[in-house]
Structure 1
Amino acid sequence: MTNIFKIFVGVITLLTIFSCGSSKQNFSFFAIGDMPYNVPEDYERFEHVITAINEQDPAFTVHVGDIKGGSSPCTDAVFEKLYDYFQEFKNPVILTPGDNDWTDCHRKGAGEYDPVERLEQLRSVFYKDRKSMGQTKLDLHTQDTYPGYEKFVENALWEQKKILFATLHVVGSNNNFNPDNPADNTEFNERNTANLFWLEEVFRQAKNRNSQGLVLFLHAGMNYADSDQSGFKDFTKKLRQEVLNYENPVLLVYGDHHRFLIEKPLRNDDGRVVKNFTSLMVFGNPDMHAVQISVNRKYDALFEIRQHFIKEAE
């Protein structure tokens, strides 16, 4: 064998090893939200969603909130029924709450509940331990392990092949913030403080772990306006600050407004788009479809997004 041929074979071998190693580091996960809405009528459609996702065998699935419609019952029975459905996912599934799941439970059609009481019940049903739901469990690092934040069991982070993932409890209906009655914002103020702490901690963890990218999940279709009327003002300001101080790709996945949408909503101090930040809104009622997100390390933006239509759920 000539030296040139040996070198050629060696190069091919190295390229093959690198290619295989790189592909093994790639993986996919799913995101859904705002479903099932009309309960119990939509339960059968949701079963088809679960079946379709199980067939794809993702690393995990995240539901970004609103497990029922705003005027659908907020009963314990509905919570337990949805918890049981989440156990039918073959792989891990993680839920971050939506406004319909507790803040809107005061509505007549939802049962005229006390929203804070419903939030406590929601936490007791869906966040029984520091693990995901689903037939395969995923260990989660949760905010309740930090002194002063013991009630925030729903805010979690986990890592998959050098990518960090985190949920934050930010919901629609203006994040349960009432600008006209400051005395009515006790719940908001406490959760807002917890979310700001958790957001900072997630980015700190991403840097300390040398994560190659970060994915954030929350419910709200936030406005990014610096308005005192907005329940998202503090959070989006902190989010922008953290993203600007982080070099790797950040993907924010959310729901709330029920339409598939990919955007670049953040701007830097020069008014230019913040290139390493992308937001993705998932499908929602009446369109019970899913979004598949793949980590592809050959792609500068890192995250490849694909619509996953589920004909049986239409």
Structure 2
Amino acid sequence: MLKRGLITLAAVGLASSVLPAATASAADSPLTLAVFGDSPYGKSAYAPGGQTADTSQFRKVPAFIGTINSDPTVSDVIQVGDIHSGKEFCTEDYDASIATTWQTFSKPLLYTPGDNEWADCHKASSLTSPGQGGGFYDPSLGAIKYIGASGLSTDPADCVSYRCGNPLDNLAKIRQDFFAQPGHTLGSGTLNVVSQATAYDPSHPGDAQYVENVMWAQNDIVFVTINVPGGSNNDADPWYKVPTATQAQTDERTDRAAADVRWLDAAFADAQARHAKAVVISTQADMWDLDGKSKDHLTNYEPIISEVAAKSTEFKRPVLMLNGDSHLYRSDNPLSPTAACTGETDPATGSGICTHDPGNNAWIEHPYYNVPNFHRIVVHGSTTPLEWLRLTADPNANHPATGTTYGPFSWQRMPQPQL
């Protein structure tokens, strides 16, 4: 059994909240987790645009879950967002199908939402590029053309995606389907976590809506999840390609980023108070991925990055970030100007993923920091073979920073055998 320590948040002014302790072995024993994201990817059928469905990855999910369930060393599972691709419509039925499938995990599952299931649901380009079934602004009409059941439409009643892809409505649906009980994990098994919905800073009661942000402690390590979606933190690209982002969009991003920062502060405060050996941050966005755009497209990640840098520096012990979003496996420290980077080959270029950045270092995308006690892993996603990461946290270890180790952590890529 794993030790699940008490989380005490009073030190940062939050409402009183604890994680009940379970019967446990030594607190300093190794802990192994499975980490994955950006899957299953596919394509929605859309006859008016000539698009046929691709559900091949979805059909592999039961076998994928089986490989994790059958590993006796794995105690918990972390999913870092994106439950479908940018070519699949955001629908109630699809969300429900993933929620049902995840019930077959025999381990507790921790999930942080990705951009494809809410922040990018508005996206579409044309009848033949229907994206996620949202819509796009037509300047000749001064209105949004939605992806309708029979073709483009200005009537929201015709939309193929849930609420015409409205990001706020889709986030609410994700919370309803995956976070209905604050403090409870998905899958089976038990892991007590604290949700921001019940442990928010009373000075900021609006933070109670962020039920998806959780933290927990295991084996002398504090874990925290924050809702930071890819796509430039959901702000540089106006929803539906309207000329100017709406106030609702701006407020959503600003409020969520502020809540995320407060939740990070609470996690680090707890880690300091309990003298934790390390902190693990799970989120979806690759906040250093230019994705072919200019650096100003990443500007609004800065409040999150600067807080991670500051709190890691204060903590002085190892901090590990887990994220998905950019799909290719990568191991690096983007908060250091000199840290090495390793990763898989980009099939689009034939070069290693690290060559996407000048000097093979993502630090250049936010060149403000030098935080040696930080490391980041981007998990592989989007393509087959489906893959998960076996992450072992040994609080007594002190590994060098390499492509597969850092401080208390070591990891191994686990591609699923193709059946």
111, 120, 130: which is aligned to 1:95? Answer: 111
**Structure-1 residue corresponding to 2:379:** 282
CA-atom RMSD in angstroms: 2.3
Preserved contact between residue 236 and residue 297 of structure 2 (Cα < 8 Å): no
176, 195, 199: which is aligned to 1:124? Answer: 176
Preserved contact between residue 165 and residue 216 of structure 1 (Cα < 8 Å): yes
Preserved contact between residue 71 and residue 105 of structure 1 (Cα < 8 Å): no
**Structure-1 residue corresponding to 2:65:** 50
Deviation at 1:88, TM superposition (A): 0.7
The 2-side partners of 1:197 and 1:281 are apart by 24
Deviation at 1:197, TM superposition (A): 0.7
Preserved contact between residue 27 and residue 218 of structure 2 (Cα < 8 Å): no
Preserved contact between residue 64 and residue 96 of structure 1 (Cα < 8 Å): yes
**Structure-2 residue corresponding to 1:10:** none
What SS does the aligned partner of 2:105 have? Answer: coil
Provide, for residues 247-278 of structure 1, a one-character-per-residue CA deviation record: whole Å limited to 9, x for no partner: 2111000000101100011138x988533210
321, 328, 331: which is aligned to 1:262? Answer: 331
229, 232, 235: which is aligned to 1:174? Answer: 232
**Structure-2 residue corresponding to 1:141:** 194
373, 390, 393: which is aligned to 1:292? Answer: 390
The 2-side partners of 1:59 and 1:30 are apart by 8
**Structure-1 residue corresponding to 2:411:** 305
Preserved contact between residue 84 and residue 116 of structure 2 (Cα < 8 Å): yes
Deviation at 1:227, TM superposition (A): 4.8
More helix by share: 1
**Structure-2 residue corresponding to 1:15:** none
The 1-side partners of 2:61 and 2:273 are apart by 38
- Name stretches of at least 5 consecutive residues in structure 2 with no aligned partner: 1-24, 44-54, 124-129, 135-164, 238-243, 338-366, 400-406
What SS does the aligned partner of 1:245 have? Answer: helix
**Structure-2 residue corresponding to 1:79:** 95
Letter in 1 for 2:411: I
Preserved contact between residue 48 and residue 312 of structure 1 (Cα < 8 Å): no
**Structure-1 residue corresponding to 2:303:** 234
The 1-side partners of 2:39 and 2:188 are apart by 20
The 1-side partners of 2:289 and 2:92 are apart by 35
What SS does the aligned partner of 2:284 have? Answer: coil
- How much identity, in percent, do the aligned residues show? 26
What SS does the aligned partner of 1:164 have? Answer: strand
**Structure-2 residue corresponding to 1:215:** 280
The 1-side partners of 2:298 and 2:368 are apart by 23
1:250 maps onto 2:322 in alignment: no
Letter in 2 for 1:31: V
Deviation at 1:182, TM superposition (A): 7.3
The 2-side partners of 1:89 and 1:253 are apart by 20
What SS does the aligned partner of 1:306 have? Answer: strand
- Name stretches of at least 5 consecutive residues in structure 1 with no aligned partner: 1-20
**Structure-2 residue corresponding to 1:161:** 219
Between Structure 1 and Structure 2, how many residues are aligned? 292
Provide, for residues 167-222 of structure 1, a one-character-per-residue CA deviation record: whole Å limited to 9, x for no partner: 01011011111376473411101101111111111111111121111111000010
Return the TM-score normalized by structure 2. Answer: 0.66
**Structure-2 residue corresponding to 1:197:** 262
The 1-side partners of 2:172 and 2:373 are apart by 36
Preserved contact between residue 267 and residue 274 of structure 1 (Cα < 8 Å): yes
What SS does the aligned partner of 1:106 have? Answer: coil
What SS does the aligned partner of 2:190 have? Answer: coil
38, 46, 56: which is aligned to 2:42? Answer: 38
Return the TM-score normalized by structure 1. Answer: 0.87
Provide, for residues 41-85 of structure 1, a one-character-per-residue CA deviation record: whole Å limited to 9, x for no partner: 322212221000111131101000000111212111111111111
Letter in 2 for 1:87: Q
**Structure-2 residue corresponding to 1:16:** none
The 2-side partners of 1:23 and 1:197 are apart by 27
The 1-side partners of 2:369 and 2:177 are apart by 44
Letter in 1 for 2:398: Y
Letter in 1 for 2:67: A
The 1-side partners of 2:174 and 2:190 are apart by 19
Letter in 1 for 2:133: G
The 2-side partners of 1:52 and 1:310 are apart by 7
Letter in 1 for 2:418: E
The 2-side partners of 1:214 and 1:156 are apart by 13
1:25 maps onto 2:29 in alignment: yes
